[in-house]
């Protein structure tokens, strides 16, 4: 049975291709706008998304109508009514976009006009009688042409291009007034699918740099695919002979040629995209930048600063800046970095327009930089531990000699002098703890034991002027904390809060759960916290505590010094281990 010839003199095949292209374009645009909003950690803009969805609905409905036009006239008419309802609402959204939030009365008129025409088109599904379709299109075209002219007069320069595009889109609606009319091919291409470039221009006013490269690459790949399809179409008689031949040899040749064609298309597409990257977008090989960022030395600040400089040079932007808080000043691009400790940093770049391809490259660099920063923090923590050990050696304190001397002193004190013997033991424990550089974290109860030994020494020195209260629940004593993170707070409270006062003072040390964290509080009845400009070893000690917290926990741990009605309060907030945090959450749910 001979294969029937395909009628290419009509316009249905043109509309099929046009609507498929519209579906691809607007679906891609929707995905890119939504992805950009997620990357910037903001809510997607509703108007661009709504316009892309309406244009997508127009193309999907008409494509479905073309598919069922002969088999199911009812569904073909229903899909056409839905398509024209989407088309009626589309210019209202585009008018709102073009006005940039101004002229609210004009925007409201556009939505009323679009909604009214959409209702008229949907009513065709249930009503028969007058030509509602033509009337709705005439009202829609004339109405939005008038609204576009008004917006041009009122806002001139700021919306001239958008108003002109809306006007052209409006008058193109008259093309659909007589659905049965046989259109010439050129007219069908120009008018029937004019909404694609016109709607794109209005929607992309705020995204033209962000999405230009994506659409250029899509267009280049589409053109290349069309070229391959055209070549296959020209070869169809020969291919038909290969597939209809009874000899299996030729069927095998057909499969090999098909595989080679796919391979040739993939290779040609890669070459084309590489050429666009080098010649159009002026980008070098990203492997150079990746290698440079993977070999950065220094501390955290040096790594971030060097990374910002390298990335800015690669993208031909101004020198990048580093921010530890979300940037408030406008930047052309901001790369968020999220570290293992829960804190964040931002690299901000300006001086040029960044394309969507640039943002994709930045997103690929983020995990590499995050690993490098975590490695730098580990190196710094190890350096601090080594430095503490070296400082002990530089002080020429030999631990064995020191503890042997203390033991000899303890043995020379009569048993009747119990207080003196206890002080020597306390001093020995404190010094042993201070010289411990083998661990970076300890259990809370271990640091409490040293704090109690330290308080014994201070009570012997201050006498009745020092009173202490320690309120630590048993279930929190096993919580891990950084070494010497709580003892400096106690030392600071006594030195600057209790000791300078002539009268008695009270030091209170407490702990409590607070959600997934443990809050340690050191409160004294002294004059208040240290002034910000105090040049004191304890001030340095507090900064060292903050630095250790940052290295261990990032932004999840905090140290706050505040003044109270009766003195000063140091609050240390540390995250609980995952197992304990989960237990706390379950307990809270059960309590509620």
Structure tokens at 351: 């001086």
Q: List the one residue out of 529, 525, 519, 530 whose CA is nearest residue 562.
A: 529
Structure tokens at 83: 């398509």
Sign of CA dihedral 378, 381, 387, 389: negative
pLDDT value, residue 584: 42
Do residues 219 and 226 make contact, with C-beta atoms less than 8 angstroms apart? no
b/e code 113-134 from CB counts within 10 Å (16+ = b)? bbeebbebbbebeeeeeeebbe
Please give the Cα distance from 339 to 162 (Å, whole number).
43
Using DSSP bridges, classify how beta strands 333-338 and 344-349 pair: parallel, antiparallel or unpaired.
antiparallel
HEC profile of 101-157: CCCHHHHHHHHHHHHHHHHHHHHCCCCCCCCHHHHHHHHHHHHHHHHHHHHHHHHHH
pLDDT value, residue 235: 84
Structure tokens at 452: 């109690």
Please give the Cα distance from 201 to 159 (Å, whole number).
12
Q: What angle do CA 518, 520, 523 make, to 5 degrees?
A: 155
* Residue 215, C-beta contacts closer than 8 angstroms, at least 6 positions apart: 25, 28, 200
The CB density around residue 200, as the number of other CB atoms within 10 Å, is: 21
Strand order in the sheet with 558-563: 466-471, 505-514, 517-524, 568-575, 558-563
Using DSSP bridges, classify how beta strands 558-563 and 517-524 pair: parallel, antiparallel or unpaired.
unpaired
Do residues 468 and 510 make contact, with C-beta atoms less than 8 angstroms apart? no
Do residues 321 and 347 make contact, with C-beta atoms less than 8 angstroms apart? yes
Beta bridge partners of residue 519, listed in sequence order? 512, 573
Do residues 73 and 225 make contact, with C-beta atoms less than 8 angstroms apart? no
Q: List the one residue out of 287, 273, 289 whose CA is nearest residue 214.
A: 273
CATH 3.30.1120.10 matches 436-591: no
Do residues 85 and 53 make contact, with C-beta atoms less than 8 angstroms apart? no
Residue bearing tokens 């003072």: 505
DSSP letter (8 states) at residue 564: -
| Helix-strand-coil split of the chain, %, nearest 5 | 65, 10, 25
Q: List the one residue out of 32, 83, 81, 28 whose CA is nearest residue 59.
A: 83
Domain positions in the chain: 12-206, 207-282, 286-393, 436-591
* Residue 294, C-beta contacts closer than 8 angstroms, at least 6 positions apart: 368, 372
CA terminus-to-terminus distance, the chain: 77
pLDDT in tens, 140-168: 888 877 887 887 777 765 555 555 565 55
Using DSSP bridges, classify how beta strands 466-471 and 441-443 pair: parallel, antiparallel or unpaired.
unpaired
Structure tokens at 134: 């033509």
Please give the Cα distance from 230 to 501 (Å, whole number).
93
Q: What are phi and psi of 3, to 5 degrees?
A: -75, 125
| Regions of the chain short of the pLDDT cut 70 | 1-14, 36, 38-44, 129-130, 156-215, 281-286, 329-330, 341-342, 353, 355-356, 385-418, 431, 433-438, 528-541, 578-592
Do residues 317 and 352 make contact, with C-beta atoms less than 8 angstroms apart? yes
Q: What angle do CA 162, 163, 169 make, to 5 degrees?
A: 90
Please give the Cα distance from 431 to 208 (Å, whole number).
66
Give me the DSSP letters along 171-240.
HHGGGGS-TTS---HHHIIIIITTHHHHHHHHHTTTTHHHHHHHHHHHHHHHHHHHHHHHHHHHTHHHHH
Structure tokens at 246: 């009874």
Q: What are phi and psi of 131, to 5 degrees?
A: -75, 80
* Residue 484, C-beta contacts closer than 8 angstroms, at least 6 positions apart: 434, 447, 545, 548
HEC profile of 267-327: HHHHHHHHHHHHHHCCCCCHHHHHHHHCCCCCCHHHHHHHHHHHHHHHCCCCCCEEECCCC
Q: What are phi and psi of 524, to 5 degrees?
A: -130, 170
Using DSSP bridges, classify how beta strands 568-575 and 558-563 pair: parallel, antiparallel or unpaired.
antiparallel
């Amino acid at each position: 049975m001979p294969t029937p010839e395909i009628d290419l003199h009509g316009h249905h095949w043109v509309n099929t291709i046009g609507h498929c292209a519209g579906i691809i374009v607007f679906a891609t645009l929707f995905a890119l706008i939504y992805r950009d909003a997620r990357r910037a950690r903001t809510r997607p803009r509703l108007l661009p998304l709504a316009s892309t969805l309406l244009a997508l609905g127009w193309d999907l409905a008409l494509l479905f109508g073309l598919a069922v036009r002969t088999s199911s006239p009812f569904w073909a008419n229903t899909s056409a009514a839905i398509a024209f309802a989407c088309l009626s609402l589309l210019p209202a959204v585009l008018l709102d976009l073009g006005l940039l939030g101004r002229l609210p009365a004009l925007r409201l008129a556009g939505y009323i006009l679009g909604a009214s025409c959409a209702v008229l088109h949907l009513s065709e599904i249930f009503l028969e009688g007058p030509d509602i379709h033509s009337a709705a299109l005439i009202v829609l075209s004339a109405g939005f042409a008038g609204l576009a002219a008004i917006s041009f007069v009122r806002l001139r320069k700021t919306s001239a291009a958008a108003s002109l595009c809306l006007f052209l889109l409006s008058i193109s609606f008259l093309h659909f007034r007589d659905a049965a009319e046989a259109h010439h091919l050129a007219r069908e291409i120009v008018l029937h699918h004019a909404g694609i470039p016109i709607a794109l221009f209005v929607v992309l006013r705020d995204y033209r740099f962000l999405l230009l490269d994506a659409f250029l690459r899509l267009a280049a790949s589409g053109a290349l695919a069309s070229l391959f399809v055209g070549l296959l179409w020209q070869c169809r008689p020969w291919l038909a002979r290969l597939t209809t031949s009874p000899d299996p040899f030729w069927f095998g040749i057909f499969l090999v040629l098909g595989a080679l064609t796919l391979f040739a298309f993939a290779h040609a597409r890669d070459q084309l995209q590489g050429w666009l990257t080098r010649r159009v977008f002026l980008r070098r090989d990203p492997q150079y930048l990746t290698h440079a960022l993977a070999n950065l030395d220094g501390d955290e600040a040096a790594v971030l600063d060097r990374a910002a400089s390298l990335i800015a040079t690669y993208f031909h932007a101004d020198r990048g800046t580093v921010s530890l808080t979300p940037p408030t000043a406008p930047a052309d691009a901001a790369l968020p970095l999220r570290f293992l400790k829960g804190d964040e940093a931002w690299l901000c770049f300006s001086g040029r327009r960044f394309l969507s391809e640039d943002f994709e490259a930045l997103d690929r660099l983020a995990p590499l930089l995050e690993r490098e920063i975590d490695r730098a923090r580990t190196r710094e923590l190890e350096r601090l531990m080594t430095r503490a050990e070296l400082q002990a050696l530089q002080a020429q304190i030999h631990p064995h000699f020191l503890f042997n001397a203390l033991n000899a002193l303890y043995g020379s004190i009569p048993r009747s002098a119990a207080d003196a013997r206890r002080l020597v033991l306390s001093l020995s424990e404190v010094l042993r703890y201070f010289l411990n550089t083998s661990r970076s974290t300890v259990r809370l109860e271990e640091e409490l034991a040293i704090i109690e030994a330290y308080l014994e020494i201070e009570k012997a020195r201050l006498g009745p002027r020092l009173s202490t209260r320690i309120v630590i629940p048993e279930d929190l004593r096993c919580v891990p904390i950084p070494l010497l993170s709580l003892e400096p707070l106690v030392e600071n409270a006594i030195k600057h809060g209790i000791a300078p006062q002539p009268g008695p003072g009270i030091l209170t040390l407490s702990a409590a759960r607070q959600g997934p964290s443990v809050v340690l509080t050191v409160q004294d009845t002294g004059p208040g916290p240290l002034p910000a400009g105090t040049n004191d070893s304890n001030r340095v000690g507090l900064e060292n505590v903050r630095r250790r917290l940052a290295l261990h926990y990032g932004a999840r741990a905090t140290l706050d010094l505040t003044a109270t009605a009766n003195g000063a309060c140091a609050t240390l907030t540390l995250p609980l281990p995952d197992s304990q945090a989960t237990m706390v959450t379950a307990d809270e749910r059960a309590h509620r």
